[in-house]
Amino acid sequence: MPDDAPGVQPIDPSGLPGVPDAFQRLWTPHRMAYLTGEDRAPDAGCVFCVAPGMAEDDSLVVARGELAYVVLNLYPYNAGHLLISPYRHVANYDDLTPEEMAEISRLMQDAIRALRAVSGAQGFNMGINQGSIAGAGIEAHLHQHVVPRWGQDSNFFPIIARTKAIPQILGEMRNQLRAGWPSGSTR
């Protein structure tokens, strides 16, 4: 019977059932807590509402404004991946006040300056994913991403292993960004 006949399991060259694909697997079971929401207590509330009230040493908050703040992403795409969020619990960009929009824009400029100064970032991906259908992992509280980029910062991990290697501990990056935040700017 041919290998492609219905109900027949293909055999790989070594004689084992199933034909493996070309991908190696790098298992990251710790990510399941994030994907399933198990790392958040049911009554913990919105992470963007809780983060600014945490003790400085326990939080990943880098800078604070009057209406918005900057925090390191707990699950970064790159070292120094920042999120800018209004303090007010609001889901939609068009629901921001003009003052919130202005402060978020100013904090984004400050974030870019700090990331260039601290890490030598050469470029940035910036954006907002509004709503789960647009890719927002937390859709109830609007937040803007600022992802620093460098030449050659891509490698095979995201493609082959669907894993991103982050070379620096978040607390160390937070401290460097706090120290490198533009002078005269709110911190």
With pLDDT > 90 as the criterion, what percentage of the chain qualifies? 48
Element housing 91 (H / E)? none
- Rounded Cα distance between 153 and 151, Å, is 6
Residue 115 burial (10 A CB sphere; 0-12, 13-18, 19+): buried
* 11 pLDDT higher than 80: no
- What was the pLDDT predicted at 77? 82
* 85 pLDDT higher than 90: yes
- Rounded Cα distance between 154 and 165, Å, is 10
The b-or-e profile of 44-56 (16+ CB within 10 A means b, else e) is eeebbeebeeeee
Residue pointed to by tokens 């994030």: 34
Fold of the domain spanning 31-177: HIT family, subunit A (3.30.428)
Q: Is the pTM of this model over 0.75?
A: no
pLDDT digits (tens, 9 = 90+) for 26-67: 455 555 555 565 555 455 689 999 999 999 888 999 999 999
Q: CA 155, 134, 49: angle at the middle one, nearest 5?
A: 95
Residue 177 is encoded by which pair of tokens? 């960004």
3-state secondary structure of 71: strand
Catalytic residue annotation: 143
pLDDT digits (tens, 9 = 90+) for 122-167: 999 999 999 989 888 899 999 999 999 988 776 555 555 566 666 6
- Rounded Cα distance between 108 and 89, Å, is 19
Integer Rg of the chain from CA: 21
Could you say which DSSP state residue 159 is in?
I
